[in-house]
Structure 1
Amino acid sequence: MADFQLLKKIIIRGEIEATTGLLIGGSNTSMGIGGPDKMVIRNPISNEPYIPGSSIKGKMRSLLEVSYGYIAEGKMGKVKYVPNNDPKLITTLLFGSANNDVEKQRPSRVVFRDGKLLNGESFRDKTDLPFTETKTEVVIDRITSAAMPRTFERVPAGAKFDLEIVLNIYSNDPHSENELVKLTLNGLQLIQDDYLGGSGSRGSGRVKFTIKTVKERSHEFYHGTAEEKDYNYAIPKDLRDATN
């Protein structure tokens, strides 16, 4: 067997439900006078909000690195790792590394698809803006006690989005595929108990993940000599689809 060969792809599919308002910011270039100070990101064709795969990936990596104690020092915009992006770290193996040292560079094993809005038509005309609500927060000046209101656009609680994660398993991985699947699902659990998007410390961004299927496609599948099959793995209780 080759030193570096794709063995299989494990495909995790399900849903993401916003259980509180969800604020994942987009461009304010089309904002009118009197509009929200922060807008959500939208599909430019359908005008529907969506969840970028990068938002899920970045949040998951950050929380996993903290949970494993890989962060030595954290400041706004500056983070030090222990050790510095070591390619043997399980999170580096999963998410890859763009280290300046070529020998330490690693490709990402995991792919996060953008999450398409699934149930937008059920609330499109019931919210302040198409598919979204506005939330006004007040900042209090600590010296003068003056109130400074600001308005955010959020996807309302109850909105559901598509979830798809693809995990590539290679022949030279130092960790087993079950460890990598477990790490990915643990990352989803961490996000559930934290938040996604902005203003999470002020009530926004609580989400619920529901895993509906986990499939595997071996390298033989892509050569036309095998079929897709169910991946045999016990989904954590808080991520299971209650209807199955």
Structure 2
Amino acid sequence: MSSKAIDLRTVNVTRYITPLREGGSLPALADADDDFKYVIKFRGAGHGSKALIADLIGGEIARFLGFKVPEIVFANLDEAFGRTEGDEEIQDLLKGSQGLNLGLHFLSGAINYDPVVTEIDPETASKIVWLDAYLTNIDRTFRNTNMLSWHKELWLIDHGASLYFHHSWINWEKTAKTPFTFIKDHVLLPQASKLKEADADFKKKLSAEVLQNIVNLIPEDWILWEGSEESPAEIREVYLNFLKIRLNHSEIFTKQAQDARQSLI
């Protein structure tokens, strides 16, 4: 699998269609100037650019590992955009999101994955559970699976709740070596009987170069954090080192997931 540098497209948002109120961050469906529709995640939402960074890193790591993920683009919002929006909450969100935001290609006609209706094979389930334990993604639960069925294929979406260490930015090196207790709530944990195999496979594929290429995608103005004394380069280095350390100690979170699964079956 190639580890060459990744180059994401940038589109300009041309029309705000409708908010998607599944979460508190008010993502929206919008048109862009390439004539495609996107689900836009806004930097002006509750968790700011950190949620966008998590979505970007998580989505591109998932794509590199072979999962189907909607194309991720940088979505530019002009300063004049949204002035005619009647909803004051949405207008404030758009005003606070000028510049680059994150867009995911809209999968028209996709349906939410339903674990009652569709069972995923143990190998795929194990790989997704491993990915989410690695990324510390708290969101892939029965309540909110963040998986879609589109053209009879499984697609992973919304990694914005990953990498939650960056909301405190304290003791991140220690956090990188911890298990992931929330994995007990993962929707696919009961089927994940091949976690050891998934760990061995992905640990070989995720090189330092791959992780560096993905972290390098973070736009500089997403990491110009108010009150931070670290430069964008230093912040990128923390993300990279967190991912490398966590990968090097993957046996910790893999065993946690195995133990959590044993308590379920």
Return the TM-score normalized by structure 2: 0.28
**Which of the pair has the greater relative contact order for Cα pairs under 8 Å at 6+ separation?**
1
* Larger Rg, first or second structure (1 or 2): 1
Return the TM-score normalized by structure 1: 0.29
Higher helix share: 2
